[in-house]
């Protein structure tokens, strides 16, 4: 059960109205332009400087910045190294997925850090506290603008204008998966932590193997990209291409998993965030009633005849079902795609 959704062409191009048509005849627009039906663009700079473009730029900067230390490693310059190391010393945790032990990482994800703390037998007071403050004020804005795995999916989706939107019931069922993944991960992490505290962890460590220190990591695309891959021997020339053959089979399977995430995102925007990511599910608990959120202006919104906001929403949220004043959805990542595309400019950012 799926319906295809056609994405509108651009944000700033406006459908010509009858008013525009009148204007055009008065100003005698070039016949060629009228014949080809090229819409009037009120602000050509808006094609470049707009909210969507801003988000893409921020996403790319963070994708590079999260692993900023890699530049220091490449250039080997002491000043740059110290600059990035100063970030690593503070190592802020933010509600995204970014592994704590990435060799080039300067920022860690709250969920990743929480798992490590639990499995080592520590309750993550500080990580949880910081995470809850960020989420209750800003909502899941970090998912929409910073998380590297969200970014990869968004860019994979970008070239495809026809997305597949599962029917609401299917979507609802699929969203449950991430809650089950979360429960399993936290159960294993807490069990491991208690075993370590009581000195009985040896057997459990042996059984859990690669899942022992952070149970979600083997399936965490951020961990695979930023920890597992940098840890492999990389070929530096044609002669050393055979290094790839010594990569363990588990690494190849993990790489295949990341590729699958990206490929599926071409048709299903942010499918990993919507259905699988346990961190996203946990963040949603606190972001639902966040201070900053999305609302609709009832004087402008025409929900009976328009569904553009829902069609463009990468999280497949049924925006029109929420009250006008504030959309309390645990799945909203404040990407503002709905705001960019709304033909009536009815979507507003609300502080309440
Ligand atoms: S839900 Fe998506 S954006 Fe949010 S932490 Fe998970 S992968 Fe990142
Ligand atoms: S409701 Fe709007 S801001 Fe929230 S995820 Fe959907 S498109 Fe993005």
Phi, psi of 46 (to 5 degrees): -65, -20
The Å distance, Cα 337 to ligand 2 centre, comes to 6
pLDDT band of 39, cuts 50, 70, 90: very low
Q: Are 102 and 70 in contact (CB under 8 A)?
A: no
The Å distance, Cα 273 to ligand 1 centre, comes to 5
**Most informative mutation of 55, 63, 140, 150 for ligand 1 (most atoms within 8 A of CB):** 150
Take atom 6 of ligand 2 and give the residue whose Cα is closest.
313
Q: Is 344 exposed, middle or buried (0-12, 13-18, 19+ CB in 10 A)?
A: middle
Ligand nearest to the CA of 338: 2
Ligand nearest to the CA of 144: 1
How many angstroms separate the first and last alpha carbons of the chain?
36
**Mean pLDDT confidence for 229-246:** 89
**Mean pLDDT confidence for 328-336:** 95
pLDDT digits (tens, 9 = 90+) for 4-38: 444 444 433 333 333 343 333 333 444 544 454 44
Q: How far apart are alpha carbons 278 and 216 in whole angstroms?
A: 9
Q: Which atom of ligand 1 is nearest to the CA of 274?
A: 1
Phi, psi of 166 (to 5 degrees): -60, 155
What integer pLDDT is reported at residue 106 of this predicted model? 81
Give the pTM. Answer: 0.84
pLDDT digits (tens, 9 = 90+) for 74-107: 666 666 667 666 666 666 789 999 988 887 788 8
pLDDT digits (tens, 9 = 90+) for 157-169: 999 888 899 999 9
**Mean pLDDT confidence for 50-78:** 81
Q: Are 110 and 93 in contact (CB under 8 A)?
A: yes
pLDDT digits (tens, 9 = 90+) for 168-208: 999 999 999 999 999 999 999 999 999 999 999 899 999 99
pLDDT reading at 301 higher than 80: yes
CA angle 131, 223, 231 (to 5 degrees): 140
Q: Are 292 and 137 in contact (CB under 8 A)?
A: yes
Mean pLDDT for the chain overall? 85
Domain boundaries, the chain: 44-234+241-290
Full 3-state SS string of 178-229: HHHHHHHHHHHHHHHHHHHHCCCCHHHHHHHHHHCCCCCHHHCHHHHHHHHC
Full 3-state SS string of the chain: CEEEEECCCCCCCCCCCHHHHHHHHHHCCCHHHHHCCCCCCCCHHHHCCCHHHHHHHHHHHHHHHHCCHHHHHHHCCHHHHHHHHHHHHHCCEECCCCCCCCCCCCCEEHHHHHHHHHHCCCCCHHHHHHHHHHHHHHCCHHHHHCCHHHHHHHHHHCCCCEEEEECHHHHHHHHHHHHHHHHHHHHHHHHHHHHHHCCCCHHHHHHHHHHCCCCCHHHCHHHHHHHHCCCCCCCCCHHHHHHHHHCCHHHHHHHHHHHHHHHHHCCCCCHHHHHHCHHHHHHHHHHCCCCEEEEECCCCCCCCCCCHHHHHCCCCCCHHHCCCCCCCCCCCCCCCHHHHHCCCCCEEEEEC
**Mean pLDDT confidence for 242-267:** 95
Q: Are 88 and 106 in contact (CB under 8 A)?
A: yes
Of all residues in the chain, what percent carry a pLDDT higher than 90? 67
What integer pLDDT is reported at residue 3 of this predicted model? 43
What integer pLDDT is reported at residue 45 of this predicted model? 67
pLDDT band of 49, cuts 50, 70, 90: confident
pLDDT reading at 352 higher than 80: no
Take atom 5 of ligand 1 and give the residue whose Cα is closest.
96
Q: Are 177 and 275 in contact (CB under 8 A)?
A: yes
């Amino acid at each position: 059960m799926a319906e295809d959704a056609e994405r509108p062409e651009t944000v700033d191009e406006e459908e010509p109205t009858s008013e525009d048509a009148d204007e055009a005849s008065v100003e005698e627009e070039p016949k060629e332009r009228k014949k080809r039906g090229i819409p009037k663009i009120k602000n050509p700079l808006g094609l470049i400087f707009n909210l969507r473009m801003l988000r893409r730029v921020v996403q790319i900067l963070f994708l590079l910045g999260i692993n900023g230390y890699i530049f220091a490693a490449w250039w080997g310059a002491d000043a740059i190294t110290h600059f990035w190391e100063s970030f690593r010393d503070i190592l802020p945790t933010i509600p995204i997925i970014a592994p704590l032990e990435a060799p080039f990482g300067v920022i860690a994800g709250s969920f990743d850090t929480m798992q490590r703390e639990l499995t080592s037998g520590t309750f993550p007071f500080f990580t949880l506290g910081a995470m809850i403050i960020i989420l209750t004020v800003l909502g899941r804005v970090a998912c929409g603008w910073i998380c590297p795995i969200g970014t990869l999916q968004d860019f994979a989706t970008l070239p495809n204008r026809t997305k597949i939107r599962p029917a609401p019931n299917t979507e609802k069922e699929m969203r449950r998966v991430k809650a089950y993944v979360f429960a399993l991960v936290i159960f294993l992490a807490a069990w491991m932590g208690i075993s370590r505290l009581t000195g009985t962890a040896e057997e459990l460590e042996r059984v859990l193997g690669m899942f022992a220190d952070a149970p979600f990591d083997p399936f965490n695309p951020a961990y695979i990209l930023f920890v597992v891959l940098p840890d492999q021997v990389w070929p530096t020339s044609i002669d050393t291409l055979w290094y790839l053959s010594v990569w363990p089979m588990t690494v190849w399977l993990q790489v295949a998993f990341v590729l699958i995430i990206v490929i599926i995102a071409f048709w299903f925007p942010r499918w990993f965030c919507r259905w699988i990511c346990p961190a996203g599910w946990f963040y949603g608990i606190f972001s639902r009633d966040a201070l900053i959120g999305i609302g609709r202006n009832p004087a402008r919104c025409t929900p009976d005849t328009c569904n553009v906001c829902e069609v463009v929403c990468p999280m497949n949220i049924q925006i029109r079902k929420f009250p006008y004043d504030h959309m309390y959805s645990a799945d909203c990542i404040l990407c503002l795609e709905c705001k960019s595309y709304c033909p009536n400019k009815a979507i507003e950012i609300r502080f309440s």
